[in-house]
Structure 1
């Protein structure tokens, strides 16, 4: 499967024949260390300039000890610095749910493995949307966890101030099972969620078909919550600045983490990622000051939308459905799409809070872009809760989706 599984690493590895994940197949994004193996992090130069791991990443070790079977490392966008789902060196995983379209990135291989049925769990990371976007494009359940809740020890860091561990599955119950293993025990109590919040200004960041589908779906959720509330943002201008705020802060973190390696080895990247790295290495202190101030403002605003862990915010996960390969992958279009994606993914990312995608509806498209053919494209929506409410969020997702399993 081009662009899905890496050539290096074991094809079948089991550490335990007992445990809650016994018999469950695990595909692992190629930036989680496995003792004795090397990672590419999406870059041949990274693979060639780094030694084999002397220890397995903590999160991967926990899943293996729970009985899961490692089925292979999976490809990602170069250095995980893209949400496109394409790699200049290793190819682009085809979307199993929508052939001819991208899976989304950067955790494209893990998403494709689960969507195709060759794995049950796809282990990934999410810095700016690298689990949430593929989950939306491929029709999977996927969670980005609270920042620093699950240790990233032994995991390639893109921008440590935003990096999180995440995972995909076809069912919410398996998503929860993984959470029970990876989320620290002191955070495994589920709070009752009684308030569903929607925000028109956020919903309007998505294309009209997704907005309409969400509005049609919300009534099916209303009887699950004692309180359903529409809240308007007090600062719409700030919402429009989130993509740049995240871009700047992430870029500086990448420069601080990888600047020396990038300057020393000058690895080859695709045009869009190379442009992004040049930008990251040239961010000014004034830009950082502006972005930090805006981030603080956004966190305070989010606290008004979600004042406690009994509330959940429903938002579009992505502004569009999966991107078609070919003309839609031109660098200018990639950048435009990325900016729109960040406008949504930064909502949770800047607050460091958990977000879960629920693939509970599709978008039917029939028009000039599909050659007149009717195509059903995976979609859905996300639920966001307060920081470290991850297990409450997972439990809520399982509760809301029981009829869909």
Structure 2
């Protein structure tokens, strides 16, 4: 198995046609599957040819795939994932960089890079993919797509390769909101429509403050337009006010998820890497050195802090509240520019400061393609409380349309 030829998006590992199992609300829609999610009879690469060659093809589809096929959708292929899905940039050492259709000279974002490229390039209506540190939300933002990370474990992960269990979710990237809405409702098994309309639009000021000035300006303009259209007053709030403690937003990452994710990756993938010694891409190898040398005892305080932040953040939410902020603080970096540790951290640190908010609080988050910064797309995110996924989808219909 190798990268599909004659593919201008450079998104596909394999093209095929899996017809729907039944008719349903996804009739007529085509989707792709990120290559860390099982499809029966096709080896799953996890972004690594060595992993692919060391594992047999699964007998069954991941359960989330069957949900979509049973709702009328057609699967047209497997698409590139960043190496072991441990990246946010989308530049694969083995499979190349999937094309960012909205900004071709820039990275698509990862680790759902092929998913974003297959949808933004017009090949699929949506893609089934995963998110831990931002792997749906970041490519949605950088490629001008709709993307949803649901509440933690809200969608079945049976048949999805293990990554970072305390954070990983299964969600969707889509070219239109109505497609995102339909696909996510199938995965959530949630079709409730009697849900209260939003009354509070909370703007997370810390995220605006760390965003580049051009991103901040576009986000403020878009949010004011939403407020004017909906008649709901914007409520600026700091992270410290949300949790009722004097703490910066980056506490979600630096004092919460960062070490927990590293320790979990040691267990889910690191054991195999240490035993099998596969060839590693240069960028991944640089990141993996931090994993290899990580002190597992150091994570214990972070586990406790993650639980504390989860409780404090969710205590802030009511059933009629939406929190908003730029999905990413920057537009997409140029392809090939993330070739030094300094360049990588300049992109990763502020980005994960923002994405870790929903990660540590296990929140549903939708990135909407509402901003354009110097010709490049950037997403605007909308977040609701834990397990308020259906409410969030309904709220977006009120706020955006």
Q: Give yes or no for TM over 0.5.
A: yes
User: 1:369 maps to which residue?
Assistant: none
User: 1:123 maps to which residue?
Assistant: 128
Deviation (angstroms), 1:294 = 3.0
Deviation (angstroms), 1:293 = 3.5
Deviation (angstroms), 1:289 = 2.4
Deviation (angstroms), 1:286 = 3.9
Task: Quote the Cα distance in structure 1 between the aligned partners of 2:145 and 2:393.
Answer: 14
Tell me which of 5, 11, 22 is aligned to 2:12: 5
Task: Quote the Cα distance in structure 1 between the aligned partners of 2:284 and 2:349.
Answer: 14
1:49-64 equivalences under 5 Å are 49-64=54-69
Q: For the structure 1 residues 185 and 212, does the alpha-carbon distance in structure 2 shift closer, same or farther, using more than 3 Å as the test? A: closer
Where does the alignment leave 5 or more consecutive residues of structure 2 unmatched?
1-6
Q: Does 2:167 align with 1:157?
A: no
Deviation (angstroms), 1:334 = 1.7
User: What does the per-residue CA deviation read over 1:131-173, in whole Å, with 9 as the maximum and x for residues that have no partner?
Assistant: 0000000000100011011010001121111110111111111
Q: For the structure 1 residues 187 and 290, does the alpha-carbon distance in structure 2 shift closer, same or farther, using more than 3 Å as the test? A: farther
Tell me which of 172, 177, 184 is aligned to 1:179: 184
Contact 2:17 2:74 (8 Å CA) reproduced: yes
Deviation (angstroms), 1:264 = 1.2
Q: Give 3-state SS (helix, strand or coil) of 1:327's partner.
A: coil
Q: How many residues align?
A: 388
Deviation (angstroms), 1:225 = 5.1
Task: Quote the Cα distance in structure 2 between the aligned partners of 1:353 and 1:323.
Answer: 27
Contact 1:191 1:392 (8 Å CA) reproduced: yes
Contact 1:102 1:322 (8 Å CA) reproduced: yes
The RMSD of aligned alpha carbons is: 1.9
Q: Does 2:216 align with 1:206?
A: no
User: 1:271 maps to which residue?
Assistant: 282
Q: Which moved more, 1:235-244 or 1:260-269?
A: 235-244
User: 1:289 maps to which residue?
Assistant: 300
Contact 2:325 2:381 (8 Å CA) reproduced: yes
Q: Does 2:3 align with 1:37?
A: no
Q: Does 2:324 align with 1:314?
A: yes
Task: Quote the Cα distance in structure 2 between the aligned partners of 1:175 and 1:385.
Answer: 16
Normalised TM-score (structure 1): 0.91
Task: Quote the Cα distance in structure 2 between the aligned partners of 1:398 and 1:391.
Answer: 11
Q: Give 3-state SS (helix, strand or coil) of 1:215's partner.
A: helix
Q: Which moved more, 1:183-192 or 1:62-71?
A: 183-192
Deviation (angstroms), 1:196 = 0.5
Q: Does 2:245 align with 1:240?
A: no
Task: Quote the Cα distance in structure 1 between the aligned partners of 2:158 and 2:196.
Answer: 28
Q: For the structure 1 residues 189 and 58, does the alpha-carbon distance in structure 2 shift closer, same or farther, using more than 3 Å as the test? A: farther
Contact 1:238 1:298 (8 Å CA) reproduced: no
Where does the alignment leave 5 or more consecutive residues of structure 1 unmatched?
365-375
1:30-179 equivalences under 5 Å are 30-179=35-184
User: What does the per-residue CA deviation read over 1:225-267, in whole Å, with 9 as the maximum and x for residues that have no partner?
Assistant: 5453222332564423333232211011111112321111112
User: What does the per-residue CA deviation read over 1:5-42, in whole Å, with 9 as the maximum and x for residues that have no partner?
Assistant: 003xx511103362221221101101111112211010
Task: Quote the Cα distance in structure 2 between the aligned partners of 1:212 and 1:185.
Answer: 35
